Structure 1
Amino acid sequence: MALKRNKRFQAEIATSSLSDIMFFLLLFFIIISTLANPNVIKMTLPKAETTEKTSKQLISISVTEEKRFFIDKEEVAPENLEAMLLSKIDSNKEQTVVVRIPYNLQVQDLVNVLQIGVKNNLKFVIATNK
């Protein structure tokens, strides 16, 4: 009497570990993307004892040591700084403007930038290193 098997061999791929790997890769890229800030120009900032976090709605003004002005990585002439800043601000003026200025520039350079905020009732914050 000849008995035949009804089941044939089928190749299987174990995919349970692949979902774990994909989860860890997704988690890794989410964490890394939150750490990267593309609107920053590299410069040495002044030091402070404490730091304060700002809201996510912010505009960055950067001043380099050569006194070149940038609004969110876009270079702006000093005489057009106020007009460009006001064009980027929402109508409700709820955005915070972060001023990044090197520690070795004169105080008058910082005051000139901050006067724009005082004149237009804007919230300005000076970026520092801890």
Structure 2
Amino acid sequence: MAIKRNKRFHAEVHASSMSDIMFFLLLFFLIISTLANPNVIKMTLPKSKVNEKTNKQHVSISVTEEKQYFIDKQPVAFEELEKELLAKVGNDKEQTVVVRIPFNLQVQDLVDVLQIGVKNNMKFVIATNPK
């Protein structure tokens, strides 16, 4: 009597190592996304007790301690700041402009930037750190 055995090859995929790889990728991207900051220009902002967060799209003006001006990370001379800001905002006068200025600069430097907003009827907000 001849008994045939069924010895067919069955392909198997071991998913245990795949789940480890996916876990490490997820962890990597979570860490990288928390380190990625839209404001690459580092400065110490003034402190305040009350903060509000803006969820809207906004234009950012940054002033460094050396009085270098940036609009959304693009360097701009102070003389060209108003023209470049108006070009960036366009016709949308309701768009918020966030001013990031170090706490140790003079008040006159802040006022010079805010006068551009008053002159053109724009909404300006000063960025602060929580106390």
Instruction: Give the TM interval when normalised to the shorter protein.
Output: 0.7 to 0.9
Equivalent residues in 2 for 1:1-130 (5 A)?
1-15=1-15, 18=18, 22=22, 25-26=25-26, 29=29, 32-33=32-33, 36-130=36-130
Task: Tell me how large the CA RMSD over aligned residues is.
Answer: 2.4
Provide Cα deviations, 1:76-125, integer angstroms capped at 9, x if missing partner: 01100000000000312232111010101000100010011111111111
- CA deviation vs aligned residue, 1:33-69 (integer Å, no higher than 9, x gap): 3662233410011000011011331111011111110
The 10-residue stretch of structure 1 (86-95 or 4-13) with the greater mean CA deviation from structure 2: 4-13
Runs of 4+ in 1 over 4 A off after TM superposition: none
One-letter amino acid matched to 1:50: V
What secondary structure does 2:119 align onto? helix
Three-state SS of the structure 2 residue aligned to 1:61 is strand
Q: Which runs of 5+ in 2 are unaligned?
A: none
TM-score when normalising by structure 1: 0.84
TM-score, normalised by the number of residues in structure 2: 0.84
Distance across 2 between alignment mates of 1:89 and 1:114:
15
Percent identity reads 76
| Cα distance change on mapping 1:87 and 1:100 into 2, 3 Å | same
